[in-house]
């Protein structure tokens, strides 16, 4: 899953600065639906990371069935926190 492709799919643009608040809300809702229906673990994780970046991801215990997946998500969260620091 390419980040820009996902932005275009859910928000109609790959330019974050041009996403209107209503478009953002609608796109996030669509991501949540797709996340709930997605069976492929890789695609599911990619959707979760995108939702996380928009502050809309479900809790780890809800999003992922096993501890390995939750730990991978925690690693991603830590990586994002470190990137935001510097």
- Is residue 75 very low, low, confident or very high in pLDDT (cuts 50, 70, 90)? very high
Query: Could you state, in order of their start, the residue ranges of all structural domains in the chain?
Result: 3-85
d(CA 11, CA 23): 6
Quick: pLDDT tens for 32-48.
999 999 999 999 999 99
- The DSSP result for the chain, as a single string, is --HHHHHHHHHS-S-GGG--HHHHHHHHHHHHHHHHH---HHHHHHHHHHHHHTT-PPPHHHH-SSHHHHHHHHHHHHHHHHHHH-
Distance CA 27, CA 67 (A): 28
What is the reported pLDDT for 1? 67
Q: Against a cut of 0.75, is the pTM above it?
A: yes
Q: Which of 44, 26, 4 is nearest to 52 (CA)?
A: 44
């Amino acid at each position: 899953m390419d980040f820009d492709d996902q932005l275009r799919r859910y928000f109609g643009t790959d330019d974050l600065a041009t996403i209107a608040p209503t478009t953002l809300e609608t796109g996030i809702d669509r991501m949540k639906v797709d996340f709930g229906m997605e069976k492929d673990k890789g695609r599911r994780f990619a959707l979760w990371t995108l939702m996380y970046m928009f502050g809309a991801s479900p809790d780890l215990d809800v999003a992922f069935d096993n501890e390995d997946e939750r730990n991978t998500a925690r690693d991603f969260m830590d990586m994002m926190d470190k990137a935001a620091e510097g």
